[in-house]
Amino acid sequence: MSDDQYTFDNPAEKFSDIETKAKPQEAPGLDTKLDDKADLGEHSYRGSGRLTGRKALITGGDSGIGAAVAIAYAREGADVAISYLPEEEEDAHRIIGLIEAEGRTAHAIPGDISSHDFAVSVIDVAVAALGGLDILVNNAAKQVFVPKLADLSDEQFDLTFKTNVYAMFWLTKAALPHLSPGSTIINTTSQQAYSPSAELVDYASTKYAINGFTKALAQQLAPEGIRVNAVAPGPIWTPLQASGGQPPEALPEFGQDSPLGRVGQPAELAPAFVFLASGESSYVVGETLNVNGGSPTP
């Protein structure tokens, strides 16, 4: 394990001690139930005041990439609210503790953002708890592999779009009146938006939509001083993959076909989200930052 995110370890060998041989879990999966724990940067992320005094809401901030972002944001000086499903209380509780350990305000918002009314209420709760909002990270997602289109139910198709696309729209629309020049919105898309897998038709389609939403809205909000960007992870070791995102038999090899030859860890995503949230990315608008171990994207 690295001392911090600034080491020059061989990136092809970094985190090679973490195996991806998890036992399958029910969705939503838990970080605390992964056989080999994902690295969220809890032992390695070192902040440098890049988000001092900012107020951030991160959906899916209980586990995986969102949790790594929550830890990094708190260490960069931000107060952080996280939204997640009620079944994920155990993971959320741990991340809330890590945010508070930095002396920052942390707020937990359990509930289902695939429902319009709840999604809108998340913004009100976050604004009240943090005393405002400067950073919105739309990161929550549903991913369930289905090999044949004939077996992809209307219910799953609908819920994948509600969770990944509609919730992003509802949350962003509700957040806008609270944002001011200098605020940022960051959406988590995916490598699936460039090279979709055969068994992820619904999920990959939502990730294409997130890229389009990001680039269109970015142009609309740029004149107001609000920047919208996205991050596109490649294969990352998180509970999403161990709870139906991939076939269980695919997990041991997950990520090994990337040019770096290994799966990525949530800790390796956090610096991209910090960069896009901080003022140092002031001329970066409508961009999708790929963090995928080297797979080419158009």
Dist. CA 130–CA 127, nearest whole Å: 5
* Nearest C-alpha neighbor of 169 from the set 133, 132, 214, 125: 214
65 is in the binding site of which of ligand NAD, Mg ion, none (Cβ under 5 to 8 A by kind)?
ligand NAD
Shortest Å, Cβ 127 to Mg ion: 23
Cα–Cα distances (Å) from 7 to 1, 11, 14, 44, 198, in that order, read: 11, 10, 10, 10, 37
Identify which of 270, 284, 265 has the alpha carbon closest to the alpha carbon of residue 47. 270
Q: Select from Mg ion, ligand NAD, none the partner in contact with residue 15, using the beta carbon and a kind-dependent cut-off of 5 to 8 Å.
A: none
Does the protein bind ligand NAD through residue 291 (CB under 6 A)? no
Interacting stretch for ligand NAD, rule CB under 6 A, among 46-54, 71-79, 138-146, 219-227?
Answer: 138-146
Site for ligand NAD in 210-249 (CB under 6 A): 233, 235-236, 238-241
Question: CA 91 → CA 43, 157, 203, distances in Å?
Answer: 16, 27, 24
Strand partners, 227: 184
Distance CA 115, CA 43 (A): 35
Asked if 88 touches ligand NAD (CB under 6 A), the answer is yes
Q: Does 290 bind ligand NAD (CB under 6 A)?
A: no
Pairing of strands 79-84, 106-110: parallel
SS3 185: strand
From 16-24, 49-57, 77-85, 169-177, span contacting ligand NAD (CB under 6 A): 77-85
Whole-angstrom Cα distance, residue 91 to residue 176? 29
Between 182 and 264, name the residue whose CB sits nearer to ligand NAD. 264
State which of residues 47, 64, 244, 286 lies at the interface with ligand NAD (CB under 6 A). Answer: 64
- Which CB atom, from 41 or from 239, has the smaller least distance to ligand NAD? 239
Q: How far apart are CA 81 and CA 178, in angstroms?
A: 15
241 binds Mg ion (CB under 5 A): no
Q: Minimal distance in Å, beta carbon 98 to ligand NAD? A: 15
Q: Tokens at residue 117, please? A: 């009314």
- When the beta carbons of 62 and 199 are compared against Mg ion, the nearer one is 62
Q: Does 142 bind ligand NAD (CB under 6 A)?
A: yes
**What tokens appear for 130 in the block?**
């943090």
Give the binding-site size for Mg ion (rule: CB under 5 A): 3
Binding to ligand NAD (CB under 6 A) within 143-202 occurs at 143, 163, 188, 190-191
> Binding string, 96-135, against ligand NAD, x = CB under 6 A?
----------------xxx---------------------
Segment (H or E) for 56: strand 55-59
Neighbours of 139 (CB within 10 A): 26
Which of 79, 88, 199, 202 is the binder for Mg ion (CB under 5 A)?
88
Is residue 41 a contact residue for ligand NAD (CB under 6 A)?
Answer: no
- CA pair distance 271, 222, nearest whole angstrom: 23
Are residues 215 and 187 in contact, defined by beta-carbon separation less than 8 angstroms?
no
Q: Would you count residue 63 as binding Mg ion (CB under 5 A)?
A: yes
**Interface with ligand NAD (CB under 6 A):** 28-29, 59-60, 62-66, 83-85, 88, 112-114, 139-143, 163, 188, 190-191, 233, 235-236, 238-241
Instruction: Give the binding site for Mg ion (CB under 5 A).
Output: 62-63, 88
